[in-house]
Chains A and B, each alone.
Chain A
Amino acid sequence: MAKVLIAPLNWGLGHATRDIPIIRTLLDHGHEVTIAACGNARSVLEQEFPACTSRDFPDYSVPFSANSLFLARFISSFPQLLQDIARERRNLATMLAEEKYDLIISDNRLGVYSDEIPSLFISHQLHFHLPLAIWPLELAGIGLNSGLHEKFDRVIVPDNPPGPLSLGGKLSRAETDVTRNRAYYAGILTSTRVQDVAQDLDYLILISGPEPQRTELEKILLPQVKDLPGTVTVLLGSPQAAETTRLSERCTVLSYASTEEKERLMNRAKIIICRSGYTTMMELAELKKRQALLIPTPGQPEQEYLADYYEQQGWFPARNQHQVELVRDIREIARYRGLPDVPGTRENVRRLYDDVLAGYLE
């Protein structure tokens, strides 16, 4: 039995939730897992794996912007990020001095690696997308990423290899030999599972993501919801107020739903209207959803790229949140063919264990 330290980033729940199948597989193989995380990411994993040891492990503040100035905000927060990484390195050193681990798995936590212990890095972004006007920075980002990947033994990419089944497009493309030699394309990894339920919900609208853009989208979409033909559930992703409002016979607004409730709603939905975050895209792929409308969070280059990429691939239509007109835009959905069939999480995580993890643990 080996001991594994797993540390997901707490920027949204996407990192923690995609680690759930990996942790489950490690436990199934009899290994001991210690969760090192903070905030909601830690809570979710503690709830899912109460028997695992969990340690508070602060990460970095989120440089999400109130407007479209993500990059400016990101660059201005760089000194703080460096301080946070220095603290993360010190905390990790303390943790490793207190307890012996056989493997470290970092989900997008830049400073969670060791020279003595095999360290794996999970990331779907091997290549950062930036606006075309600042293309030299995008090229510089490739070099920076490569320098970071050099610190790790392997880079686990939760996507299919570059090609027609790649859900990340250029984001998950290894551009340098350093990254290429370390990259392992695991395929999608998500905690969301297919359920045997009737698809009796015509539309599920997921209004999620960082504030204030989440509230902005709520203000844009809610007045339009009543015009949609069929049954509609809107999930506001606003845990502060756990209430349910019925806008009409056909339309329900939930301010918050648990992970299980959300999974059930996604399974029941025929059409999903959502942000184009990569975690959500993996969920759509896992559930084999063919119909969706994507609304990227303004100022988040990754979501803007993915929305654009999916539209170009003919998978899902995408709309800028300030131009969305639900009744008109849902008619567009039928012209798109949905995501291609890709291997599911169960198969992927089994392969990941056999191909990579077992080599370090058995």
Chain B
Amino acid sequence: MDDLVASGIAVLVSLLLAAAILIAGIVYVILLELHAFANGDYMFVLGSMGVLVLLCAGYAGAGLWLHRTGRI
């Protein structure tokens, strides 16, 4: 197989794998939250929500920083 096409396939597989891991992660976190909520473990719900917000803020912050500094 041509190496350009092989690299393209590797990129496509990595992209799909990353998307699958991301979706699985989101579903897993939602299930954890629901389970904790059902069990009345509100501290866990609040704590994990806080972590999620921090992660989202970190993601958005990194993007904004890259944009503001002209890297992307």
Contacts and interface: CB of A to CB of B under 8 A. Distances in A.
Contacts of B9: 82
A86 B4 CA distance: 8
Nearest to B65: A135
Interface in A74-88: 75, 78-79, 81-82, 85-86
Contact of A135 (B2, B7, B11, B66): B66
A201 to B, nearest CB: 38
Interface string B43-72: 000000000000000000011101100101
A143 B2 CA distance: 19
Interface string A133-154: 1010011000010011001000
Interface in A131-180: 132-133, 135, 138-139, 144, 147-148, 151, 170
Nearest to B15: A75
Question: Main SS of the interface on chain A?
Answer: helix
A135 B4 contact: no
A151 B7 CA distance: 12
Contacts of B64: 132
B38 interface: no
A133 B63 contact: yes
A21 to B, nearest CB: 28
A111 B62 CA distance: 34
B30 interface: no
Given A85-B4, A135-B62, A78 B12 contact: yes
Interface in A93-140: 110-111, 129, 132-133, 135, 138-139
Question: Main SS of the interface on chain B?
Answer: helix
A86 B67 contact: no
Contact of A170 (B4, B8, B15, B72): B72
A297 B64 CA distance: 24
Interface residue tally of chain B, by bracket? 10 to 19
Contact of A86 (B2, B12, B15, B70): B2
A89 interface: yes
Nearest to A141: B72
Contacts of A111: 2, 4-5
Contacts of B67: 132, 135
Contacts of B15: 75, 78
A138 B72 contact: yes
Interface residues of A, number: 21
A170 B1 CA distance: 34
A204 B63 CA distance: 39
B63 A82 contact: no
A82 B5 contact: yes
Interface string A309-338: 000000000000000000000000000000
Interface in A46-92: 75, 78-79, 81-82, 85-86, 89
B26 to A, nearest CB: 15
Most A CB contacts (10 A, CB to CB) among B4, B11, B62, B66 go to B4
A144 B8 CA distance: 9
16 contacts: A79-B12, A82-B12, A85-B2, A85-B8, A86-B1, A89-B2, A89-B5, A110-B4, A111-B4, A132-B64, A133-B63, A139-B72, A144-B11, A148-B4, A170-B70, A170-B72
Interface of B: 1-2, 4-5, 7-9, 11-12, 15, 62-64, 66-67, 70, 72
